[in-house]
Amino acid sequence: SHHGSSGRRCPSFVLWTSQGAASRGAGAARSAMFVVASFFLLSIERFLYGYIYHFPESFKQVCNGPLKSALDFAEGKYWMVAKHLGVVIKVFQFGVIGYDLLSRPVGLASVPLLSVGALLVGAGQVLNAAVFNAIGAVGVYYGGQLGEKVPWCSGFPYNLGFGDPQYWGVVLFVWGLYVALAGASMDGQLLRHVVVPVWTTFWYVMSMKVLEDTKNGTAVLRSFGLKRAAA
C-alpha cells in the first residue's frame, strides 16, 4: 500500500538525519577541542618569556646546567639562548595558526576587508621591524635582564604613546591575516574564525600587564608565595 511504501523509506531517512547530526556533533567537538588546545598552546611562548623576565638568574642557571649545549651554541650569550628558544617555540604559534587555516574552508575576503587586513599586516610588520631596528635582537630577547647593556630608546616606535610596540605588532599582524581571510565561507562561522586572534590578543596583553610587568607580575607572584628575582 502507499502507507507501506512510506514506512519503508523511513529507516533510510532516519539514518541520513542521524548521520548528519553525528557529523555536526563531531565537528562541534573538534571546534571545542581546538578552542581549548589553542588557548594553552598559545600561552607557552608567553610563559617562557615571563619566566626569563622575572627570573633571569634562574634562567642563567638553567643555561649553565641542562641547557649548557644551547649556551655553547649561543657563544655563551644568555640572550641568544632566549632568542633560539623563542625561534623553536614559535612552532606552537605557527602550528596553531597553520592548523586553524588549513583544517577548515577559508578564502580571501571582499576587497574592503582585504584592504583592512593588508593594512593591519603591514602595520604589524612595521612595528616589529622598527623594534628590532631600535634596540636590536639583544634588546628584544631580554639582554637587559640577562646582563647585557641595552641602550634606552625613546625614538620610534617607542614614541607612539603605547608600550610594547613589538607585541602590538604581532597582534595587528594576526588580526590582519584573519581579516584578509574572512571570505564568504565565514557566514555563520565568525566566532570560530576569530578564536586564534582573540587568544593571541589575550596572551599578549597578559604579557604586557602581568607576565612581563614588574609591578603587577610581582604582585601575582607574591599571591602564589613566590618572589621575583632581582635582575
Give the 3-state secondary structure of residue 230: coil
Residue 3: per-residue pLDDT = 53
Identify whether the C-beta of residue 217 lies closer than 8 Å to the C-beta of residue 224.
Answer: no
Q: Rounded to an integer, what distance in angstroms lies between the CA atom of residue 205 and that of residue 216? A: 12
Cell, residue 211: 607576565
Residue 22: per-residue pLDDT = 64
Identify whether the C-beta of residue 173 lies closer than 8 Å to the C-beta of residue 204.
Answer: no
Q: Taking the model in full, what pTM does it have?
A: 0.84
First CA to last CA distance, the chain: 88
Provide CB contacts within 8 A for 76, sequence distance 6+: none
Residue 18: per-residue pLDDT = 55
Residue 8: per-residue pLDDT = 53
pLDDT tens by residue, 89-145: 999 999 999 999 998 888 899 999 999 999 999 999 999 999 999 999 999 999 999
Identify whether the C-beta of residue 106 lies closer than 8 Å to the C-beta of residue 185.
Answer: yes
The parts of the chain modelled with pLDDT lower than 50 are 1, 5-7, 16, 231
Provide CB contacts within 8 A for 126, sequence distance 6+: 157, 169
Residue 16: per-residue pLDDT = 47
Residue 26: per-residue pLDDT = 75
Give the 3-state secondary structure of residue 103: coil
